[in-house]
Structure 1
Amino acid sequence: MEKGGKDGLVLIRIQKSQKEHWKKICLEKQISLTNLIIDSVENRIMDNERKKVMAFIEKQDNIFVKIETNINQIAKIVNGQKFISENDLQKFSHQLTEILKLKSRQNEVFINICSMLGK
C-alpha cells in the first residue's frame, strides 16, 4: 500500500439490502465501510477490535502491577518480622506458582495478539 494520498477508486455493485447490512455492521463496530471492506479483504484485525485488545492488555498489566505490589508488601512485612510461618510460606509459594502460570499464559496470548495486530 502506498503512503500518502488515496488516489485509487474501486466501484462494486451490490444489492441495496446488502449495503444497508454492511453499514449496520460498520455502525455497530464504529468503523467506516472502507475500513470494513479493506480489513476483511486483507484479513486484518478491525480497528475497533484492535482498541479492545489494547484495552485488555492495559487491564492485564494493571492487574499484575497490583499483584506485584502485594508481593512486595508481604516481603516487607516478613523482612520486618524476620519470620513467616510454614503454613503462610506454603500458601505464598502456591500463589506465586499460580501467578507464574498465569503470567506465562498471558505472554502466550500477547504473542498471538501481537501477531494479529501486525497484519
Structure 2
Amino acid sequence: MNTDEAKDEVILFRIKSQKKKYWKMICSKKRISLTSLIIDSVENRILNDERREILEFMEKQDNIFGKIENNINQVAKIANGQKFISESELSNFSDKLSEIIILKKEQNEIFTKIYARLSR
C-alpha cells in the first residue's frame, strides 16, 4: 500500500474469541499490532519483529568482522615490529585473509538479499 493513500477503508470479519486472544498474544510477544500481523501476513511481507531481528543480526555480523579486522591489524603490527615473519606464518595469514574476503563477499550477497526483502 502506498503511504500517500488514505487509510479510510475498514474490513470487518468474525473470528472466535479464543483465536483473537491467541493472535493478540502473538502480537504482544512480537511487539507488533494486530493490523500489522494481518496485513504483513496476507501480503507475504516480513513482520516488524523479524525485521528487527534481521537488523540485529546484521549489526552483530559487522561487529564480528570488525574484530577480525582488528586481529589482522595486530598481526601486521607485530610483523612490522619484528621485521620478520616466517614463510609458514605468512602463508597461513594469507590463507586467512583469502577466507575472510570470501566470507565478506558471501555476507554482502546475503545482506543485499535481506535489504531487498526488507524493502517490500
With structure 2 as the length reference, what TM-score do the two structures score? 0.88
Tell me the distance in 2 between the aligned counterparts of 1:29 and 1:2. Answer: 23
Question: How far is 1:5 from its partner?
Answer: 6.0
2:66 aligned partner: 65
Q: Which runs of 4+ in 1 moved over 4 A?
A: none
1:87-102 equivalences in 2 (<5 Å) = 87-102=88-103
Question: How far is 1:7 from its partner?
Answer: 2.5
Amino acid at match of 2:25: K
Question: How far is 1:117 from its partner?
Answer: 0.2
Question: How far is 1:81 from its partner?
Answer: 2.0
Tell me the distance in 2 between the aligned counterparts of 1:58 and 1:32. Answer: 25
Tell me the distance in 1 between the aligned counterparts of 2:60 and 2:67. Answer: 11
With structure 1 as the length reference, what TM-score do the two structures score? 0.89
Question: How far is 1:60 from its partner?
Answer: 0.7
Tell me the distance in 2 between the aligned counterparts of 1:3 and 1:41. Answer: 20
1:101-112 equivalences in 2 (<5 Å) = 101-112=102-113
Tell me the distance in 1 between the aligned counterparts of 2:3 and 2:34. Answer: 20
Q: Which moved more, 1:82-91 or 1:46-55?
A: 82-91
Question: How far is 1:6 from its partner?
Answer: 3.2
Secondary structure, in 3 states, of the residue corresponding to 1:83? Answer: coil
Structure 1 gaps of 5+ residues are none
1:42 aligned partner: 43
Amino acid at match of 1:106: Q
Question: How far is 1:34 from its partner?
Answer: 0.5
1:10-89 equivalences in 2 (<5 Å) = 10-89=11-90
Identity score, percent = 56
Query: Greater RCO between the two (CA within 8 Å, min separation 6)?
Result: 1
Corresponding residue pairs, total: 119
Residues 79-117 of structure 1: per-residue CA shift (max 9 Å, x gap): 222210012112111211221221122112111111110
Question: CA-atom RMSD, angstroms?
Answer: 1.6
Q: Which moved more, 1:27-36 or 1:13-22?
A: 13-22
